[in-house]
Amino acid sequence: MLSLEEGSVNQAQVPDESGNEFNAYTLNGDHHELIVALLRMVEEGADGHSLPDEELLARLRTHIHRGVGTLAVRAKSPADVARLAVAA
Protein backbone atom coordinates (compact mmCIF):
# COMPACT_ATOMS: atom_id res chain seq x y z
CA MET A 1 0.00 0.00 0.00
CA LEU A 2 2.91 2.37 0.68
CA SER A 3 4.18 1.88 -2.85
CA LEU A 4 0.74 2.34 -4.40
CA GLU A 5 0.45 5.57 -2.44
CA GLU A 6 3.66 6.79 -4.11
CA GLY A 7 2.09 6.34 -7.54
CA SER A 8 2.76 4.36 -10.67
CA VAL A 9 5.96 2.45 -11.23
CA ASN A 10 5.41 2.87 -15.00
CA GLN A 11 7.95 0.86 -16.94
CA ALA A 12 10.27 0.25 -13.97
CA GLN A 13 12.44 -2.81 -14.25
CA VAL A 14 11.10 -5.80 -12.33
CA PRO A 15 13.53 -6.87 -9.59
CA ASP A 16 15.30 -10.21 -9.93
CA GLU A 17 13.17 -12.79 -8.15
CA SER A 18 14.81 -16.01 -9.22
CA GLY A 19 13.94 -18.69 -6.71
CA ASN A 20 11.29 -16.61 -4.92
CA GLU A 21 7.60 -17.26 -5.23
CA PHE A 22 4.39 -16.87 -3.26
CA ASN A 23 0.75 -17.46 -3.98
CA ALA A 24 -1.70 -14.61 -4.31
CA TYR A 25 -3.94 -15.76 -1.44
CA THR A 26 -1.03 -15.70 1.01
CA LEU A 27 -0.31 -12.12 0.03
CA ASN A 28 -3.84 -10.74 -0.43
CA GLY A 29 -6.11 -13.06 1.51
CA ASP A 30 -9.77 -12.20 1.06
CA HIS A 31 -8.79 -8.75 -0.25
CA HIS A 32 -7.49 -9.90 -3.66
CA GLU A 33 -10.14 -8.06 -5.70
CA LEU A 34 -9.58 -4.84 -3.75
CA ILE A 35 -5.79 -5.04 -4.21
CA VAL A 36 -6.17 -5.64 -7.96
CA ALA A 37 -8.63 -2.74 -8.25
CA LEU A 38 -6.23 -0.39 -6.43
CA LEU A 39 -3.33 -1.58 -8.58
CA ARG A 40 -5.34 -0.98 -11.75
CA MET A 41 -6.38 2.48 -10.51
CA VAL A 42 -2.76 3.49 -9.88
CA GLU A 43 -1.17 1.85 -12.91
CA GLU A 44 -3.84 2.34 -15.56
CA GLY A 45 -4.84 5.78 -14.36
CA ALA A 46 -7.71 7.87 -15.56
CA ASP A 47 -6.88 7.63 -19.27
CA GLY A 48 -8.74 4.33 -19.52
CA HIS A 49 -5.97 2.21 -21.05
CA SER A 50 -5.95 -1.37 -19.86
CA LEU A 51 -2.72 -3.21 -19.13
CA PRO A 52 -2.32 -6.90 -20.00
CA ASP A 53 -2.39 -9.20 -16.96
CA GLU A 54 1.31 -10.07 -17.41
CA GLU A 55 2.29 -6.38 -17.29
CA LEU A 56 0.02 -5.76 -14.31
CA LEU A 57 1.66 -8.68 -12.47
CA ALA A 58 5.13 -7.30 -13.26
CA ARG A 59 4.09 -3.94 -11.83
CA LEU A 60 2.67 -5.61 -8.71
CA ARG A 61 6.06 -7.27 -8.17
CA THR A 62 7.75 -3.91 -8.56
CA HIS A 63 5.34 -2.34 -6.05
CA ILE A 64 6.10 -5.12 -3.56
CA HIS A 65 9.82 -4.53 -3.99
CA ARG A 66 9.46 -0.75 -3.64
CA GLY A 67 7.12 -1.09 -0.65
CA VAL A 68 9.51 -3.37 1.23
CA GLY A 69 12.32 -0.90 0.54
CA THR A 70 10.18 1.94 1.88
CA LEU A 71 9.34 -0.04 5.01
CA ALA A 72 13.01 -0.88 5.56
CA VAL A 73 13.78 2.85 5.69
CA ARG A 74 10.75 3.94 7.75
CA ALA A 75 10.51 1.09 10.27
CA LYS A 76 13.62 0.65 12.40
CA SER A 77 11.83 -0.46 15.57
CA PRO A 78 8.50 -1.95 16.71
CA ALA A 79 7.43 1.57 17.71
CA ASP A 80 7.98 2.74 14.12
CA VAL A 81 5.77 -0.08 12.83
CA ALA A 82 3.07 0.88 15.34
CA ARG A 83 3.20 4.51 14.17
CA LEU A 84 2.88 3.40 10.53
CA ALA A 85 -0.13 1.24 11.41
CA VAL A 86 -1.85 4.12 13.21
CA ALA A 87 -1.13 6.52 10.34
CA ALA A 88 -2.84 4.14 7.92
Q: What is the pLDDT of residues 1-42, one digit of tens each?
A: 889 999 999 877 766 666 667 777 788 899 989 999 999 999
Number of CB atoms found within 10 A of residue 88's CB:
8
Average the pLDDT over 32-59 and give the result.
Answer: 87
pLDDT of the residue at 81: 82
What contacts 24+ positions apart, CB below 8 Å, involve 14-18?
14/58, 14/61, 14/62, 14/65, 15/61, 15/62, 15/65, 17/61
b vs e for 60-70, b when ≥16 Cβ sit within 10 Å of the residue's Cβ?
Answer: bbbbebbbeee
Please state the domain extents for the chain.
2-87
pLDDT band at 58 (very low <50, low <70, confident <90, very high): confident
pLDDT above 70 as % of the chain: 84
Quote the CA–CA distance of 80 and 72 in Å, as a whole number. Answer: 11
Average pLDDT, the chain: 84
